[in-house]
Amino acid sequence: MSNTQREARRQQALTEIALLDTPPEREFDALAKLAQSMLGTGMSSITLIDPERQWFKARCGLLAAETPRAEAFCPVVFETEAPLIVPDAKLDPRFAASPFVTKAPNIRYYAGVPVRVRQADGDKITIGTLCVLDEQPRTPTPTDLEVLSELACIAEALIEARAVALRAAEAAEERRLAVEGLERERRQFKQAERMANMGSYHYDIETQTTSWSDGVFVIHELLISAGVPVGEIMNFFPDADRARFRAAVERVLDTGEPFEMDADFVTAQGNARRVRCSCDIELAKGKPVALIGLIQDITERHGLEERLRHQACTDDLTQLANRAEFNRVLDARLHEARTSDIDVAVLLIDLDGFKDVNDRLGHAAGDDVLVRVAERLRAPRYAGCFPARLGGDEFAVLASVGCDGARLNAMVQSLLHDLEMVVEGQGQIARVTGTIGLAWSREAGHIRDVLLHHADAALYAAKRAQKGTARSHSAEADRPTTRSRGVGYRVGPWAQQY
């Protein structure tokens, strides 16, 4: 196939998915942010390439909504249908004179992978890229393209799901037109257009009988020949969702307003599902005669959304909360503290000797240290606390609610012990300890930035005094906690404020 023919196929595939020039969508934006966060770059994008331009379905950083195709990076991936890494664009003759390098956004580093869609003949064709960019050159890591490729698979799944939804909506409209004149079918198909037409039900209020479409039996994992399980329908929902569904149905009967709700669901075979339910009322001569609605299995989509949410708030290496999630939880705890007059304790942790581990034993050993620290922060003895990795070798712990000075003192001593470890590798040994800075929210006026500043100041005061110790932010506490070898931990005057 010639390059011209291949380009024509790519443009046709791009047209068929109807994604070009569409409004921003949360799932694509979240994916672009995830790529930027995971690879630590200043910019990222999900890019679609048409004959004259590259258009960004999602973008992070200093990127315009669209740019000319000529001399850009993403069209190279689009045309070659192969991943591309450019460590330093100024040193690459293909891009050194590009206006994207010499002018804003001053791209120096680029890594991109193809985003493909499957066509009717089963062949996958490239319609764009997922890429990360930075204003500084960098040395690629072996995992850069691997991470991008995995995220590109999610982008392809989002595009495919969107295309399926569009086709389902078109099919629902065709069916609605085919049964026009029949009120119940018309309204069911109108709902199917909103909810992907997974299955419908009809409940006759006078006779108290229910009929299901085949799709509802499939969702329940019941044989159609067995009929609707009268008297057991609500048992497929857990208690809380069952109560919500009943209350919603009563509101429909009282107000005539339809509803939609998502709920947990357990099939007849005991399989957990996530479903979306809708309900509307059918009138005859102004009186309610039936309830009609749809039920849709959204388990896979719900799982994808949960995974994306998890990825967005979790540090990939340690599986602890990341900085953004820590700030979110801290803000919620501080709001509670302001309204309930409680004190919130935050501990900032910085690893001592971590750079030496990376330099002498390698980054794999450094990563292992970070994973070991995370495992220790999740230990049962710290139950109720909320640990997070803020970045690099910096961690934070939000103490459990109601943790007083004595318990916090014991926890700090335990942490200092747990954070001390010896790392071996390549015939060498390195020692890692942790230095801790502690601050209380009441002293900071329950303001997050002030609280973290206090903890940070205490941390660096402890580092200046003696690494591997702890210090609380207090004008009355100038000396750090120290390690008394062979005896255990000795608590310095920083704890006396408790």
The 10s digit of each residue's pLDDT in 110-130 is 999 999 998 878 788 999 999
Q: What is the largest CA-CA distance in the chain?
A: 88
- CA 338 to each of CA 130, 335, 384, 449: distance values in angstroms, whole numbers, following the listed order: 43, 5, 20, 15
Q: Parse the chain into domains and list their residue ranges.
A: 3-166, 179-302, 314-497
Q: Which residues pair with 278 in a beta bridge?
A: 260
Query: What type of residue is 420?
Result: E
Its CATH class, for the domain covering 3-166, is alpha beta
Q: Which residues pair with 387 in a beta bridge?
A: 397
Which uninterrupted H or E stretch holds 167? Answer: helix 144-178
* 179-302 placed in CATH 3.30.56.10: no
What are the phi and psi torsion angles at 468 (to 5°)?
Answer: 80, 20
Distance CA 457, CA 459 (A): 5
Are the C-beta atoms of 205 and 289 separated by less than 8 Å?
yes
Same-fold call for 3-166 versus 179-302: yes
Q: Residue 233: what pLDDT?
A: 82
The 8-class DSSP code of residue 73 comes to S
Structure tokens at 255: 């107000």
| Residue stretches of the chain with pLDDT short of 70 | 178-197, 475-498
The answer for residues whose C-beta is within 8 angstroms of residue 367's C-beta and 6 or more apart is 317
380-417 exposure pattern, b = at least 16 Cβ within 10 A, e = fewer? eebeebbbbbbeebbbbbbbeeebeeeebbebbbebbe
Q: Are strands 66-68 and 345-352 parallel, antiparallel or unpaired?
A: unpaired
CA atoms within 13 A on the CB side of 148: 29
Pick from 400, 397, 374: nearest CA to 326: 397
What are the phi and psi torsion angles at 433 (to 5°)?
Answer: -130, 175
DSSP letter for each residue of 233-300: GGGGS-HHHHHHHHHHHHHHHHH---EEEEEEEE-TTS-EEEEEEEEEEEEETTEEEEEEEEEEE-HH
CATH label, 314-497, candidates 3.20.20.140, 3.30.2320.50, 1.10.3720.10, 3.30.70.270: 3.30.70.270
The 10s digit of each residue's pLDDT in 3-12 is 888 888 888 8
Are the C-beta atoms of 73 and 107 separated by less than 8 Å?
yes
What torsion, rounded to 10 degrees, do the Cα atoms 246, 247, 253, 259 define?
-90
The answer for residues whose C-beta is within 8 angstroms of residue 166's C-beta and 6 or more apart is 18
The 8-class DSSP code of residue 72 comes to -
Q: What are all long-range contacts of 426-431, with beta carbons under 8 Å and residues at least 24 apart?
A: 426/360, 426/361, 426/362, 428/360, 428/361, 430/353, 430/356, 430/357, 430/360, 430/361, 430/365, 431/353
Q: Residue 307: what pLDDT?
A: 86
Q: Residue 189: what pLDDT?
A: 53
Distance CA 254, CA 233 (A): 22
